[in-house]
Amino acid sequence: MRNGMGMTKTYLRGLTQREEKQEGVDFFLRLGSQTRFFAFQFKAPKGNSDGSPYRYTIQREQHEALFDLSQLASTTGFYVFPHYVTTIKLQQDVPNLMNDTWLLSVDQMVTGAVFGTSKSKTVRCEGTRAIINPEYGMHRFQDTALKAAIIRGGVGAREMQQWYSRFRFATAVARRSPWVSRGLRVAVVLPSTP
């Protein structure tokens, strides 16, 4: 996002456990009105070897939260599927891991259609396709079509704050597992200065 899309002010900062205890929050930001937020749910591949199809597990509770956010603005929530199972392939591709890391936009994935009555689903990734039943298209971050969509996407600070408040409240009330938010990363995109 910083180099390839000209969003030079993009960053992610999580607080240390000591800072969280001291501040009483997971993270905090002071933002301008033009700031945009994106949510990336990273998934680890299953199996012991690299090769297509790559398989990942997605959870209904995680998906419901991401889908809720993605309905505020398209191209806001994504699953991230790195196609790296073994350290051999990982070491071979460093530092260009984005070349075989794929993004799947959540806004098109209606929860009932994806999960039915199941609590989890396996996603099979083959080429540019994420096969769950139904099938969805994926993109690499450097793909022109995805870059154009992201530039128009994201949610503002107020919408993100409202979504995050609902998410935290629902997690506490439903006594959801802390794993619901495991692997979730939020990117903050500040307006670039000329």
| Alpha-carbon torsion (40, 152, 106, 155), positive or negative | positive
pLDDT lower than 70: segments of the chain: 1-17, 19-31, 171-185, 187-194
**Domain locations along the chain:** 17-189
**Residue 120 to residue 125: CA distance in whole angstroms:** 16
The predicted structure's pLDDT at residue 28: 56
At 137 the pLDDT is 94
**Tens digits of residue pLDDT in 73-111:** 888 999 999 999 998 998 999 888 888 999 999 999 999
Residue 101: per-residue pLDDT:
93
What is Dmax (Cα atoms) for the chain?
50
Q: Backbone phi, then psi, for 124, in 5-degree steps?
A: -100, 120
Distance separating alpha carbons of residues 162 and 70, to the nearest angstrom: 13
Q: What are phi and psi of 107, to 5 degrees?
A: -60, -20
Element (H, E) at 87: helix 87-93
Q: Tell me, what's the pLDDT at 9?
A: 64
Report helix, strand and coil shares of the chain as percent, to nearest 5. 35, 25, 40
Dihedrals φ, ψ of 135, to 5°?
Answer: -105, 145
DSSP H helix total and E strand total for the chain: 6, 9
Is the CB of residue 10 less than 8 Å from the CB of residue 187?
yes
With a CB cutoff of 8 Å and minimum separation 6, the contacts of 118 are 60
pLDDT tens digit string along 14-31? 566 676 666 655 555 566
Helix (H, G, I), strand (E, B) or coil at 18: helix
State yes or no: cis peptide before 45, omega within 30 of 0.
Answer: no
Burial (CB count within 10 angstroms: exposed 0-12, middle 13-18, buried 19+), residue 70: buried
pTM metric for this prediction: 0.78
